Structure 1
Amino acid sequence: MASVKQARHPATDEITLIDVMGALNDPIRVGLIRVLADEREHGWGELRAPVAKSTLSHHLRVLRDAGVTRTRQEGTRCFVKLRSADLNARFPGLLTAILDAAHHDDVGSHVGLADDSPTA
């Protein structure tokens, strides 16, 4: 019987500022954290970005490896959630500042959820 490979998530005290900032140097990844800031866990299939599925998977892996998100596999489905509490414990106020700046500068607004309605 084959075992499911579990993704490695850095412990809170292993999350570094350089890794977090490096992971957030792409507008798609900033858009993903804007979507995930609702504090809900989302299936990968719910996420919409103007990139191929393999590229979206890469972006999600970068965020996970940096400690920005947590990924959970359930059967063949994967779920992702923003690690807000861990990031706020490690870098108080950083996540809020990033989300505020992203909203102000309209970074990542082209990323959303499958059930998002287009705005007129």
Structure 2
Amino acid sequence: MFKIIAAAVLALASAAAFAATEVNKANQAELEAIKGIGPSMATRILDARKTGTFNNWADLQGRVKGVGDGNARKYSADGLTVNGQAYPVGGAAVVKAKGKHEKTPAKKVEAKAKS
């Protein structure tokens, strides 16, 4: 009987350890429990979340400095979700924040040719 109870407790503990952490609901400590998210990153996430919930991974990446493709993959693999979704295998298109412009590949080629 003891073995059955011990096995059940162990199974519940294992399930809790692999439970997903929703970025739109997590507090500072829960975010910091994700491997790679320290106090600074957790604070940036919480500050960005004050303006509204994150719609998807691209929204998170666009609004939180330091969450690029590589970190998003790592955080997702460690259990972080956005609206219940893991980071897509192929990656997400990053939506730039207002006022930030990125050169298109054609402009980069033109600029390099002029140099």
Q: TM-score, normalised by structure 2?
A: 0.34
Larger Rg: 2
Q: Which has the higher strand share?
A: 1
Q: TM-score, normalised by structure 1?
A: 0.33
